[in-house]
Amino acid sequence: MNSEYPFYVYILSSNSHELLIGFTDNLKLRIAEHRASTTRASRVFQLVHMEGFHDPLEALHRQAQLKAWPRARKHAFIDRFNPTWRDLAQDL
């Protein structure tokens, strides 16, 4: 993870490839919170994509853009940049 970015948009995935898209200023902490959650979102545990931003408004815009995409487009996007759907949190 490049620590020069103060804001991140991320995509988490479950084993069944259910996706959760979020925005944070502390990626490590936010992933830990998702993994510790007992809610429906707790099934979403693998970091499959992240993008860093300097501007929080730009990051929020990107988050909204990704959320608006149909499921198939989101999956194709992840397949393009992370074809094995590897858990990128291991690198944080």
Give residue 11's pLDDT.
97
pTM score: 0.89
pLDDT in tens, the chain (92 residues): 446 789 999 999 988 889 999 999 999 999 988 888 776 655 678 999 999 999 999 999 999 999 999 999 999 999 999 999 999 998 88
Q: Regarding the domain with residue range 7-91, which homologous superfamily does it belong to in the CATH classification?
A: GIY-YIG endonuclease (3.40.1440.10)
pLDDT confidence of residue 41? 58
Cα–Cα distance measured from residue 57 to residue 7, given in angstroms and rounded to the nearest whole number: 10
Is the separation of the CB atoms in 19 and 56 below 8 Å? no
pLDDT for the residue 1: 47
